[in-house]
Structure 1
């Protein structure tokens, strides 16, 4: 008996020495691995349950850009031109000059005043004491608050209110042009003064809905709300829709996995491991002090998709090994041994590729890079280690093994035979010509790709969303739109009202008002002209700039608050735009920069830019520069990692060129669909490269294995397609179908991402299965011919010996 057992143990020990160190470590300590990962999952699940949406106005903007730096330097002198909301109270019957409407408007003004986070000192409406009227009388200039202290709602006071509104200059600003609605303009602070924490936009948006819209909207009163805080609040509210579509995608993936594997446990286990990766990612973000902003909410699904991609490869490998007769544990070991190196390389490439988004100095994109990189890092543990360890206990079902064995022994594989034909020179050259044609088409179409928003309102939401309908109402009924571009005019102290300063600013305003897309431009110049006319009995001939400096100074002092700062060294010029489309912003920026280059001097300096449109313009400039810089970094880093792995520039080209084609076609698709490159969409191309490189690395690693055995390129690729290629095709189609359901989302941002990600999932799969072998046939040197039957799938003798040794060890133990 000893003579029988000893050789078995010696053979097993010899085989064990050939096992990779990581394989021995994890599979000899399987219970410990499972318990540790279970504890980690419980901890991260608890942490993830506490994660909150995290959105900040300043995180959405490039604070390093000179325009934004100028705004931040003068932020205290420009109250109300940054992050603000507008609440329009509309009378559906009659006009605003009724006691009932004014009572409602007053109550809404008071409600907004007490909402935490509102800058109360800068709050404006016709009920604010700082909003005043002026007129010329026989006794001189007269004025006072629009709502007089004696207001009591009587018809006499309402007529007086009408007169005051007309004399205030607020028609088109705080009062609609048709007198059927009035606006409450509420600038926001960065921090909630009650908590000292950044404003929670979800809570703030809910307060606007509950305290304002739900409370005061009736059949005769309608409430319209716009502003950055409301957009973010609506996006966060839509997070429930994101979760629903995530669940739908998970269900579709489960069904398709079962149809693919014919094994319930082989379908559930990889999904569970992928969900665990998402839990770990969210838990890590919370543990490290990060939140999840509205534009990063799709990253968890991206992590899930990458996890499924790697999980399918492992399940496919285990099924293949089981079909050769290996037991549960041995099949899992072999799958791990075969895939852990290409899997780690692919995931490291993903993580480093995502990390290159850090070069874009916009904090919300950098947070997205951190979230995506963390998610990829945990997949190494959950899907490359935990998954095969769990499968070593569950194994695959007998039905799945029989299906795999039948496919191996009797399958004709017409699709794989057809695709393997692309490794032959004639077919490969045809494909390369097609790829060049698609590249030319994509390059031509992508010339129409625009930077920034291409639609009015909030493009992240549907055109018929409540927010965009509210925005359209305000744009249609007011002369001063919600899109404000502010030029800062800096002078020496006490010189903002100098004749030369006002004259030059007047010229700037005239030039800007000639631009398409500009509604109007207002500054201290307008107030000074009106006051000068008032000094002369309201004669319109005197509505100009007088060269008498004493008169100009006297007129300037009477201007409204916010026309200049405390020491008269800064004057804002407010440019009201029809929208914040990229073309509109580009024309305004170009005009102001040209004007500044002509007139900047020691006595006057024009600085860009403040206001929501000015900040958007700066963001567009950064995005335009960063999109190509980001792509260069992504492809350079991924290329270097592939080069370090395969030690061949030709192989790197085989893997990266199909990805480059997908990126180019994705840009063309964005141009065709009218999706601009902006903070929300810029990362998608980098994320698509990260997902696609997995396919190429897995396929070429398997292909290289068969080539090293001496197979011809066609035979090697045929065998690659039967295993790894089949998993890649399934993964690409499954994830594409799951993400494709997002087009039904009420959030346009999610629908757009669904279209782009579906396109990239499918095209990356096509590139890896079709264009990669065609490139390989041209670029890769052919190995020495060692004919092997293409359909051969029988295990090598070494496999039988290893299986026998492994089973003997199990029985002996």
Structure 2
């Protein structure tokens, strides 16, 4: 075997064939602290894992309507300011009971509807004062009779299902104004509307959406029959379905973990090192899941992906450490020495990469939506845990376990190919990648990247903010929920997507003619917008009152200028249209969907109308209702999207510059990431995915994962350049050391998350496609575009150091003391 040596930071050269010469006091203080106390570290980690594993069992999965609200947006501030008057108009569940017969007016249907109404009335979390159905006394009718204006509950007193009572019920419904609201226009279904409280007043506990969903499915199974179908829509049902879909999500996680394990074993042919890499990545997940309940956090349907992302990042870094140790053992180093040398080479690069990951998630904190901030904290915490489990614990465990001799020799296969019989024959695949350090291929790669980036940028200009599909885009189009939603939209003017305009007025003056005239004008403009089905306000009640005073003549369906006649009908107005003190009006706007374009058009109109007509007598404020909340969310996400990207890239650039001390090296590392970000947005446009709460974190993740690959490849390349090698030789050495693992993890993780495309949960499928694309493109960027840029930006002479890249030695290299000695065609790289 060749005589190979490697320098430590604080000691003389160490001969691979004479490990006794290795000074255990060499290396940095951090290295000596951990490796000179290995047993203590392992025991402490085992104890922490047990304790946090027990804590992880206490972690709860929950969803919260309140935590979906962009807390600092003016729309939400308006909503909260008038929350008391708006009770029952935010988080609303609709249970639509439909019949296949000609109409709902037959005793069997109405008896089932009564039982459903009475049963759901007692559900925990229902705001019973604002519950509505034709059986609730608050739903009333108004009509003109010989005695004047009369009214009463829609459901007749003493209803017994007789033909006379059925006729009376039908007459009351027609006089109530509830056709298209609570009763379908074809009389084949009615709605039980359940406003929900996010926090139960009696217990003080958050509403359990999963338990509620189970009750709703039991209700459906109990009362649904051949003649009667039940459709359930609303945020609570979506959240419940996502939480119930956890089993499918966990199944795909398990498949992804199995794929990663199998491919890693195929690469190493060593069970012990494969299992240690997987185990340390899973330990990081256990620590994260145990820390969350200790810190008062829960997992929600949007942050459920965080544990797997932590696992994926851990696998990427763990495979690099395992590969380095395996190669050193293959060269003849004992397992402890191999572990320390690999720690010495890659700790700072790995630390910088993980810090970049953490920063990528942490910048999501700029988005003032609690559910995203929870995700950012959880992901940042997970990445922080990886710094210890995968950068420290894994090398220490491998220093005990080592790797199989056969696996160690296989890891040097490419190097042996190059040095056999003194012939410098490069591995075909690595030789192909090495071509991109030459001018011809480098120019081709840069031009192709510029063309792709330009085309991708043009396509990305069409990227939308928010949902692009009707119903619940988090679920498949053919899911039960989306079929239910399509039924409601198709049969009711009052859809489940409600945008509420708030109109506060001085006390007792909400019914003034001048105010109602402006409300009427805004309603008319709203109804003219595409995507608006209907509106509801006190103006409709006032017009019906004038018709009543005119002996029911529909020609008088207009606002009366007589203030007394308007005031006389306020007592008959639906409670959701004005408050008891006549100081607050609402305009309920029912939308066909909550697509981004629909919400943007409505919000723009209301903002412009308010700017023109707001006065002391009345102000027109957006927005309440579930659609109003989503409009505010879209605005916040749009504002934060570019800001978040700038912060992520700013942080990555600073960290890369601290590591390499060279603007040239920073450009080589960052420009491939920029290309991936642009192409990812173009892919979102092509797939019809909008930027929203569920997709925004993936954008930040793509930058973090990409810089991992770039840092590992670039660090070793710069080390070789500093040792005096040409760029081609320097890059080829990096490929043999860290590049092969970049390929391994990029392809493995890409395939693993691509399996999510088959998930019944659509947003998991979307995340899988986007993550697979980012893993693969970031890998290609680090292996092709990075060396191509290096051809134009990195200098090769050791006399200028890697400051080739700027004239200074990178901090990571200065700290570790990099040397490289080549003998008989073999290479050792040390960082």
Task: Bin the TM-score by the shorter chain.
Answer: over 0.9
Output the CA distance in 1 between the equivalents of 2:231 and 2:728: 65
Go from structure 1 to structure 2 and tell me whether the alpha carbon gap of 1:598 and 1:145 turns closer, same or farther (over 3 Å shift): same
Aligned to 2:388: 381
Matched, 1:58 2:72: no
For residue 61 of structure 1, report the CA deviation from its aligned partner: 1.6
In 1, Cα distance between the equivalents of 2:555 and 2:412? 96
Residue deviations 1:200-246 (CA, integer Å, cap 9, x gap): 21112122222x21221122221111111110110011111111011
Question: For residues 682 and 412 of structure 2, what CA distance do their matches in structure 1 show?
Answer: 44
Structure 1 Cα separation of the partners of residues 132 and 724 of structure 2:
80
CA distance in 2, matches of 1:472, 1:612: 17
2:214 alignment partner, one of 195, 199, 206? 206
- In structure 1, what is the Cα distance between the partners aligned to 2:286 and 2:158? 61
CA distance in 1 between partners of 2:87 and 2:566 (Å): 24
Partner of 1:327: 334
Among residues 482, 485, 491, which one is paired with 2:496 in the alignment?
482
Structure 1 Cα separation of the partners of residues 559 and 355 of structure 2: 66
Contact 2:722 2:798 (8 Å CA) reproduced = no
> How many corresponding residue pairs?
789
Q: Residue 735 of structure 2 corresponds to which residue in structure 1? A: 721
- Alignment counterpart, residue 512 of structure 1, candidates 519, 526, 529: 526
Counterpart for residue 191 of structure 1: 199
CA contact (8 A) 1:235 1:747 kept: yes
Aligned to 1:44: 52
Q: 1:808 corresponds to which residue?
A: none
Distance change (3 Å), C-alpha of 1:92 and 1:791: farther
Give the drift of 1:723.
1.3
CA distance in 2 between counterparts of 1:795 and 1:338 reads: 11
Aligned counterparts of 1:208 and 1:147: Cα–Cα separation in 2: 24
**In the superposition, relative to structure 1, how do residues 559 and 17 fare at CA in structure 2: closer, same or farther (>3 Å)?**
closer
Aligned residues of 1:27 and 1:389 also touching (Cα < 8 A): yes
Which residue in 2 is equivalent to 1:299?
306
Alignment of 1:148-297 (within 5 A): 148-210=156-218, 212-297=219-304
1:18 aligns to 2:51 (yes or no):
no
Query: Following the alignment from structure 1 to structure 2, what is the Cα–Cα distance between the partners of residues 327 and 309?
Result: 24
Match of 1:139 in 2: 147
Q: 1:578 corresponds to which residue?
A: 592
CA distance in 1, matches of 2:356, 2:81: 40
Question: Are 1:317 and 2:331 counterparts?
Answer: no
Find the partner of 2:40 among 22, 25, 32. Answer: 32
Which of these residues, 368, 372, 380, is aligned with residue 365 of structure 1? 372
Give the structure 2 partner of residue 103 of structure 1: 111
* CA drift at 1:23: 2.1
SS of the residue 1:76 aligns to = coil
- For structure 1, which runs of at least 5 residues remain unmatched after alignment? 1-7, 800-813
1:54 to partner: Cα distance: 2.5
Residue by residue, what CA displacement relative to the aligned partner does 1:57-84 show, whole Å, maximum 9, x if unpaired?
1111201101110011011101221001
Deviation at 1:547? 1.2
In structure 2, the partner of 1:663 is 677
**Residues 436/790 of structure 1: CA separation in 2 closer, same or farther (3 Å cut):** farther
SS at match of 1:361: coil
User: How far apart are 1:795 and its partner, in Å?
Assistant: 5.2
Q: 1:171-202, CA deviations, whole angstroms, 9 ceiling, x for partnerless residues?
A: 11111111111100010112123421111211
Cross-structure match for 1:782: 796
In structure 2, the residue corresponding to 1:727 is in which secondary structure?
helix
Equivalent residue for 2:535, pick from 521, 538, 542: 521
Give the alignment of 1:568-607 within 5 angstroms.
Answer: 568-607=582-621
Q: CA deviation at 1:408?
A: 2.1
Judging changes above 3 Å, is the alpha-carbon distance between structure 1 residues 774 and 790 closer, same or farther for their aligned structure 2 residues?
A: farther
Task: Report the Cα distance in structure 1 between the residues aligned to 2:77 and 2:147, rounded to whole angstroms.
Answer: 47
> Secondary structure in 2 aligned to 1:605?
coil
Residue 106 (structure 1) shift: 0.7
Following the alignment from structure 1 to structure 2, what is the Cα–Cα distance between the partners of residues 17 and 760?
A: 41
Which deviates more from structure 2 when the two are superposed, residues 32-41 or residues 216-225? 216-225
Task: Return the offset for 1:669.
Answer: 0.3
The answer on whether the counterparts of 2:19 and 2:333 sit within 8 Å (CA) in structure 1 is no
SS in 2 for 1:495: coil
**What does residue range 292-691 of structure 1 map to in structure 2 within 5 Å?**
292-410=299-417, 412-691=426-705
- Report the alpha carbon displacement of residue 17 of structure 1 after superposing the two structures with TM: 3.8
CA–CA distance in structure 1, aligned partners of residues 562 and 412 of structure 2: 98
How far apart are residue 142 of structure 1 and its match?
2.2
Rounded Cα–Cα distance in structure 1 between residues aligned with 2:488 and 2:732: 62
| TM-score using structure 1 length | 0.95
Q: What is the Cα deviation at residue 13 of structure 1? A: 8.3
CA distance, structure 1, for counterparts of residue 238 and residue 735 of structure 2: 47
Q: Is residue 25–residue 32 contact of structure 2 (8 Å, CA) maintained in 1? A: no
Match of 1:811 in 2: none
Corresponding residue SS for 2:503: strand
Q: 1:14 to 1:304 in 2, by over 3 A?
A: closer
Residues 330 and 405 of structure 2 are in contact (CA less than 8 Å); yes or no, is this contact kept in structure 1?
no
The answer to whether the Cα contact below 8 Å between 2:430 and 2:735 also exists between their aligned partners in 1 is yes
Distance in 2 separating the partners of 1:71 and 1:169: 26
Answer yes or no: is 1:83 the counterpart of 2:91.
yes
Shift in Å, 1:11: 10
**Which secondary structure state, in structure 2, belongs to the residue aligned with residue 294 of structure 1?**
coil
Q: Is the contact made by 2:821 and 2:828 (CA closer than 8 Å) also made in structure 1?
A: no
Does 2:768 correspond to 1:746? no
Partner of 1:92: 100
CA distance in 2, matches of 1:305, 1:630: 22
Task: Give the corresponding residue for 1:802.
Answer: none
The 5 Å alignment of 1:760-775 reads 760-775=774-789
Question: Secondary structure at the residue paired with 1:15?
Answer: coil
Q: Is the Cα–Cα contact under 8 Å of residues 116 and 194 in structure 1 kept in the other structure?
A: no
